[in-house]
A and B are shown apart, each in its own frame.
Chain A
Amino acid sequence: MPGPRRELRQRLAELRGPAVPHPLDARALAALAANPGCRRRALLDGAGVDKGALASALGSPSSYGQSQFAFARGHAFEARVKADGGMELMRLLGVDEPGGVRVPELAAAGPQGRAARTALALREATGAGTWTLLDHPLLALEVAGSPAYLEPDAVVVHPDGRWTVVEIKSFPVLDGSADPAKVGAAARQAAVYVLALERVAALTEGAEVAHSVLLVCPRDFTNQPAGSVVDVRKQLSVTRRQLARLTRIEDIAAALPEGLSFDLEGCSAEQLTEAVEAVPHAYAPECLAACELAFHCRGRSREAGAVETLGRSVRGELGGLTTVGAVLAAARGEAGDPADPAVAALRRAQALRREAITGAVAITGAVAGAGEVAGAGAGAGAGAVGTEGAAVCR
């Protein structure tokens, strides 16, 4: 390992403290794409800090959890898909007569051993000229100087040396379509596996990793599997980009004060809070579904009056105004440059809103729809307005 990388690894270990690094799985890596601008998340993930435990220590526990019903169902489904020596999976791949499927033993001691065993099995399978099913292989991918171990549900090696990632999910495919958000998440996760496999394939004669993965879900309301081929080329380039960006952790870490620590055992809540605050976040409401620290960051973001707490899109029309107070002051004419189109638009918006609300309060008692009264002009009486809806529908 080259020097700078070792230094980074060392620095991140210091930040994490004595705890065992929280393993980064494919889901966590895929989630990096949810908010690539967040330095806080990049650093904590890169350093292997357990964000869930950190959130609890900060007093804003995350609310993630899995129902045991979903867990049991997911396991039963996966077992069913892989049953019969992989024949069912072959059928889903569109191969009715595979003429035997090899299912090599992948057990070994420790993640390094398992990853080595997987790499060996992949090499053997690639030259074998038959179908091979790797059940829960383990792949290593270097992330920010440290190896992350990834465990796809399955990898199928084709007789021609092609490798296909198989992702088994328990959300249903109903009449041919599935929840696009869930398919998207599965595709991003699968792309991480494809990327890790490509590192192995680069060292394997005759191997090629397919850029389409097989997504297996229950069909309709049954427990029968349905296979869908999903093209993950876009997710792959996104993941490559995000992993390349993780090298910027170095810069983030370098900007931190000496002696800062995220040691969950050794630090008090105040110290941890201070440490977390030293790394800038980029909170947006989407974080709530993607990051354990989201409730903590939301609280801080709200305290600071950041307009992003109302959604990323809110900023679009606000120009350089970034806080609730600044926007409202500008809208009320208490601050801001009237020549700034954002300020001018806010003032117009505020005036129109006031006019509509106060005008409406005065009128709603008489007839529904104050806009109507103005629109009807002097000739039309308000009474006609009230019955209008009925008149149109006859």
Chain B
Amino acid sequence: MTTTPAPATGVFDPGAAAAEATARILRDTLDGTARGVVVDSPPGAGKSTLVVRAALELAAAGRPLMVVAQTNAQVDDLVLRLAEKEPELPVGRLHSSDSDPYDRALDGLENVRKSAKAADLAGLDVVVSTAAKWAHVKTDEPWRHAIVDEAYQMRSDALLAVAGLFERALFVGDPGQLDPFSVVGAEQWAGLSYDPSASAVSTLLAHNPELPQHRLPVSWRLPASAAPLVSDAFYPYTPFRSGTGPGDRRLSFGIASDGSGPDRVLDEAAASGWGLLELPPRHTPRTDPEAVHAVALVVRRLLDRGAAAVSERSPDPVPVTADRIAVGTAHRDQAAAVRAALAALGVTGVTVDTANRLQGREYDVTVVLHPLSGRPDATAFHLETGRLCVLASRHRHACVVVCRAGVAELLDEHPSTEPVQLGVTLKFPDGWEANHAVLSHLAEHRVEWGP
């Protein structure tokens, strides 16, 4: 890593540390000689801001570029952010030929041109699309620059399909989130530098170890109560800090607690940033009705009690409305069950989704159904570090985890007989360790369901 964290002595100035890191990244991107620059960005560290800024500076320097993101939602989001920062900038949105291929909000932007054909967008300063769409583009004249966003979630084979389109690139992503995967076995290529099922960054660095690597050192999203835990549990070798200090973010309620489990856990989360609502131990199917109901009730009480947030963005309390709340689950059927339970309680407008789909999103308060709650066994899927990391790092103020008791024992009894592939670099932390770290922290903020 060429980016060193703040010196051990003296007061840590998050703004200065982040600005310094950004300056170094932009210097390497604009003036460096390396073909690639890699930036690791922990949750909420301003990855999108960096991407937009790098794109604008490249464009301002008269160097047109292509931007590769992984999903259509990410592409649309980037286009909207670019247009917001620089309404005059000619931006191209390359999209698929499916019906309804892009966010209709783009239609209102004067300088954004949209097309399913790359040729229609030739000559624009910035052209943005998904990796899947770029893979079908053919060009004789490669772009001189590219930005690859969410590069840790991109598979190596997807990069192979688009890397011929550019000469050099800035790769930005969060190594702690969910890894890309394949629905068929890819073991036969394990250990190869270009294993097609590995992440794009691991292939890139295996072949180009000399590339400058940077790290954004400050999470602006996670509050002071969350950054240390998330950093220790999920980024043990690349720590980061929160941009705000203790007390900068506050959550309060207009209506006092009624003494119920949901209200008490909300009070705990408002006070400490974390809350664990523990249900009695029981083996349940994935859509555990009691746990699902508990999740919905916590959300309902959060809204009913008139939650309001104070933060560096606004000294006056801002109501925490439904759109600032998210519920995270491991499985789609759990998300569907929570949606139904919320609807039954008359709650609308709250985002309910799986960890996969919550990647890159940000809310004031999150309510998480613990991936191991009620399970008779832990599986690699449920232990995957990135899944828990996503669920535990979406919030600006507080995170409430709903879980059945007994997960610690479940972890203890989990067999550890993983196969080992020669030549594959270990990924840290181990899911078991990360789960234990989070669980033992949550135990300090435990509220029992019963009165």
Partners in one complex: yes
* Chain A residues engaging chain B, CB cutoff 8 angstroms: 33-37, 173, 176-178, 180-181, 183-185, 187-188, 215, 228, 230-231, 233-235, 237-238, 241-242, 245, 282, 286, 290, 312-313, 315-320, 322, 339-342, 345
In whole angstroms, what is the CA distance A247 to B399 when docked? 35
A387–B422 CA distance with the chains assembled, in angstroms: 48
The secondary structure that dominates the A interface is: helix
Which one of A36, A177, A188, A342 has the greatest number of beta carbons of chain B within 10 Å? A177
CB pairs A–B below 8 angstroms (22 shown)? A34-B417, A36-B415, A176-B191, A177-B190, A181-B419, A183-B420, A183-B421, A184-B418, A234-B418, A234-B426, A234-B430, A242-B416, A282-B413, A286-B415, A290-B417, A316-B285, A319-B283, A320-B282, A320-B284, A340-B285, A341-B288, A342-B284
Q: Is the CB of B190 within 8 A of A33?
A: no
In Å, the complex CA distance between A183 and B283 comes to 34
Known pairs A318-B285, A342-B284. 12 more at Cβ < 8 A? A36-B416, A176-B422, A184-B418, A184-B419, A188-B416, A228-B422, A245-B412, A286-B415, A315-B376, A317-B285, A318-B376, A322-B283
Write out the residue numbers on chain A whose beta carbons fall within 8 Å of the beta carbon of B311: none
Q: Map CB proximity to A onto B411-451 as digits: 1 under 8 Å, 0 otherwise.
A: 01111111111110110101011000000000000000000
Let me know if B286 is at the binding interface, CB within 8 A. yes
Q: How large is the interface on B (under 10, 10 to 19, 20 to 34, 35 or more residues)?
A: 35 or more
| In contact, B420 and A341 (Cβ under 8 angstroms) | no
Q: Are A339 and B433 in touch, CB under 8 angstroms?
A: no
Pairwise interchain contact A342-B419, C-beta atoms closer than 8 A = no
Q: From B377, B419, B421, give the contact of A316 (CB < 8 A).
A: B377
Interchain nearest-CB distance for B127 vs A (Å): 38
Q: Provide the main secondary structure of the chain B interface.
A: loop
A316 to B430, CA, bound (A): 22
Q: With A and B bound together, what is the CA distance between A319 and B287 in angstroms?
A: 10
What is the bound-complex CA distance between A79 and B282, given in angstroms?
55
CA distance A176 to B286 in the complex (A): 41
| Residues on the B chain within 8 Å of A237, using CB | 430, 433
B289 within 8 A of A: yes
Min CB gap A143→B, angstroms: 17
Closest chain A residue to B413 by CB distance? A37
B389-420 residues at the A interface, CB under 8 angstroms: 412-420
Chain A residue at smallest Cβ distance from B191 = A177
Proximity bits, B169-190, A CB within 8 Å = 1, else 0: 0000000000000000001101
Taking the closest CB of chain B, its distance from the CB of A323, in whole angstroms, is 13
Assembly CA distance A320 to B417 (angstroms): 26
For B187, B190, B375, B414, the residue with the greatest tally of chain A CB atoms inside 10 Å of its CB is B414
| A316 with B284, Cβ < 8 A, contacts A176-B423, A178-B422, A230-B420 known | no
Given contacts A178-B422, A231-B426, contact A33 B417 (CB under 8 A): yes
In the bound complex, residues from chain B placing their C-beta under 8 Å from that of A322 are 283
Neighbour of A188 across the interface among B190, B289, B417, B425, CB < 8 A: B417
A33–B416 alpha-carbon span in the complex (Å):
5
In the docked arrangement, what's the CA distance between A8 and B377, Å? 31
**Chain A: which residue is nearest B409 at the CB level?**
A37
The reply to whether the CB of B2 lies closer than 8 angstroms to some CB of chain A is no
Interface assignment of B379: CB less than 8 Å from any CB of chain A: yes
Contacts of A35 in B (CB 8 A): 415
Which residues from A are CB-within-8-Å of B282?
Answer: 320
**Pair B284/A183 contact, Cβ less than 8 Å:** no
In the assembled complex, how far is the CB of residue B416 from the closest CB belonging to chain A, in whole angstroms?
4
Q: Which residues from chain B contact A228 at a C-beta distance below 8 Å?
A: 422-423
Q: Which residues of B contact A34 (CB under 8 A)?
A: 415, 417
Are B422's CB and A341's CB within 8 A?
A: no
Most buried by A among B190, B412, B418: B418
Q: Quick one: given A231-B426, A234-B426, are A317 and B419 in contact (CB under 8 Å)?
A: no
Contact partners of B414 in chain A: CB under 8 A: 36
Question: Nearest 6 A-B pairs (CB), nearest first?
Answer: A37-B413, A180-B419, A315-B376, A238-B416, A342-B285, A184-B420
Residues of A within 8 A of B415 (CB): 33-36, 286
Contact A36/B417 with A233-B426, A315-B283 known, Cβ cut-off 8 Å? no
Give every chain A residue within 8 A of B412 (Cβ-Cβ): 36-37, 241, 245
Q: 0/1 per residue, B346-379, Cβ < 8 Å to A? A: 0000000000000000000000000000111101
Task: With both chains docked as a complex, state the minimum distance between the C-beta of A307 and any C-beta of chain B, in angstroms.
Answer: 9
Question: In the assembly, what is the distance between CA of A188 and CA of B416, in Å?
Answer: 9
Interface centre among B187, B284, B376, B433 (most CB of A within 10 A): B376
* Chain B residues with CB under 8 A of A245: 412
Distance between Cα atoms of A215 and B423 in the complex (Å): 12
Chain A residues in 8 Å Cβ range of B426: 231, 233-234
